[in-house]
Amino acid sequence: MGMPKKGCDIHGVLIVDKPEGLTSSSVVCGLKGWFKAKKVGHTGALDPMATGVLPIVFGEAAKYSQYCLDSNKGYLARIQLGTATDTLDADGVVVAKKAIPAIDETILKLVLDALTGSLMQVPPMVSALKHKGQRLYKLARQGLEIERAPREIEIFSNELIGFEAGKGWLDIRVRCSKGTYIRSLAESIGQSLGTVAHLSRLRRDFAGGYSIDQAKSLRTVESVRNKGVTALVKLLHSPDTLLSHLPRINLSEHECMMLIQGQKVSGNGRGVCDTMRAYFEEASFIGLVTVDSGGDIFAKRMLSPAAAGMRGSSDIGR
């Protein structure tokens, strides 16, 4: 099946292994052009220097992208000690140098342990956060420095996986909450060791329940380009894989259609739950629902009938 002349409806999640040097937006634009998809987006950008897991959402899967954006993340990072940059990473201009004190595995592990748990972190100026409607990184390019309030983050694990004292770098494996900036963590590690530092390499190996083992290179994705949409769909994960951490509820076809049409259905004594994954006949995901204190089920964020694969639909992204 070739590509249609007009945009086509594709629904699902493609896990891309983003290469170094590309922006996340350019990956999205490239995929949208390759497959003539009507709607394509990502679930949390990676910096151009970073590589790794970049979930790309097609069609109705975009309705649930926030759940992946809000999820925990995992990174493999290399931190270069002794040199600081204006962006806190290897893409920036060197702004400071400082001698590196003697370090060994014991010292490094103590520092990493101290930077584990609930922490307050000041977001870097070069970030996508907004100030009065403008991205901070755009203001930084103008030479502006905006005061940023520290934010609470959680670093679940901060593991040393390698270092070379002579060259002044260390490799770490981090598991953290949303909103954690590894560049800022690199800066903090340098300060704790009595020197300066910047992030010299970053690879995201986990995001929203997806691992690097599931990611496809752009070369692999491009190889199915000439085979058409059907070949692409075989690479996609279903939209509900963005929501695997949520409880599920199985419903009849009649109940599903009522919910999709905006009507409530009886919860039959089910407990209160703010957000549940709803399924038709234990198989087809139809969207997110809420069960209130009265036992009634209400639609929260539903797929269209076609995307849900309900009767009469022949949509490709079922």
| Confidence grade of residue 146 (pLDDT, cut at 50, 70, 90) | low
Assign residue 16 the CATH number of its domain: 3.30.2350.10
Assign residue 287 the CATH number of its domain: 2.30.130.10
Task: Considering only residues 127 and 210, tell me which one the structure prediction assigns the higher pLDDT.
Answer: 210
95 and 105 share a domain? yes
Q: Mean of the pLDDT values across residues 266-282?
A: 79
79 and 203 share a domain? yes
Task: Considering only residues 133 and 232, tell me which one the structure prediction assigns the higher pLDDT.
Answer: 232
**Residues 153-197: tens digit of each pLDDT:** 999 999 999 999 999 999 999 999 998 999 999 999 999 999 999
The two three-digit tokens of residue 200, written as one number:
């010299």
In the chain, which residue ranges form alpha helices assigned H by DSSP?
Answer: 24-35, 65-69, 105-114, 136-141, 182-192, 218-223, 229-233, 253-260, 305-308
165 and 195 share a domain? yes
Whether the pLDDT of residue 96 is over 80: the answer is yes
Cα 82–Cα 87–Cα 92 angle in degrees, nearest 5: 75
Cross-strand partners of 210: 207
Is residue 314 domain-resident?
A: no
pLDDT of residue 280: 85
| Confidence grade of residue 133 (pLDDT, cut at 50, 70, 90) | low
Neighbours of 23 (CB within 10 A): 13
The two three-digit tokens of residue 9, written as one number:
């409806």
55 and 157 share a domain? no
pLDDT of residue 312: 40
Cross-strand partners of 58: 12, 40
User: Which entry of 47, 205, 240, 315 is annotated as an active-site residue?
Assistant: 47
Q: Which amino acid appears at position 113 of this protein?
A: D
pLDDT of residue 166: 92
Active site residue 17: no
CA distances to 24, 45, 100 from 77, rounded to whole Å, are 19, 16, 19
| Confidence grade of residue 294 (pLDDT, cut at 50, 70, 90) | confident
Q: Mean of the pLDDT values across residues 289-307?
A: 85
pLDDT of residue 1: 42
Whether the pLDDT of residue 267 is over 80: the answer is no
Is residue 221 domain-resident?
A: yes
Range of the domain at 221: 12-70+209-240
87 and 234 share a domain? no
**What value does the mean pLDDT of the chain take?**
86
Share of the chain above pLDDT 70, in %: 86
Number of domains in the chain: 3
Q: Mean of the pLDDT values across residues 299-316?
A: 65
126 and 196 share a domain? yes
Is residue 6 domain-resident?
A: no
pTM (two decimals): 0.87
Is residue 94 domain-resident?
A: yes
Q: Mean of the pLDDT values across residues 12-21?
A: 95
DSSP assignment, residue 312?
A: T
The two three-digit tokens of residue 68, written as one number:
């992946």
Residues 6+ apart with CB under 8 A from 78: 169, 170, 171, 199, 200, 201, 202
**Residues 226-264: tens digit of each pLDDT:** 787 788 888 999 999 999 888 988 888 888 888 888 888
201 and 83 share a domain? yes
Best CA proximity match to 274, nearest among 304, 250, 298, 241: 298
- Please tell me whether residue 240 adopts helix, strand or coil conformation: helix
pLDDT of residue 26: 94
136 and 188 share a domain? yes
Is residue 58 domain-resident?
A: yes
19 and 79 share a domain? no
How many CA atoms lie less than 13 Å away from 218 in the CB half-sphere?
A: 17
233 and 250 share a domain? no
Task: Considering only residues 272 and 25, tell me which one the structure prediction assigns the higher pLDDT.
Answer: 25
217 and 292 share a domain? no
Is residue 173 domain-resident?
A: yes
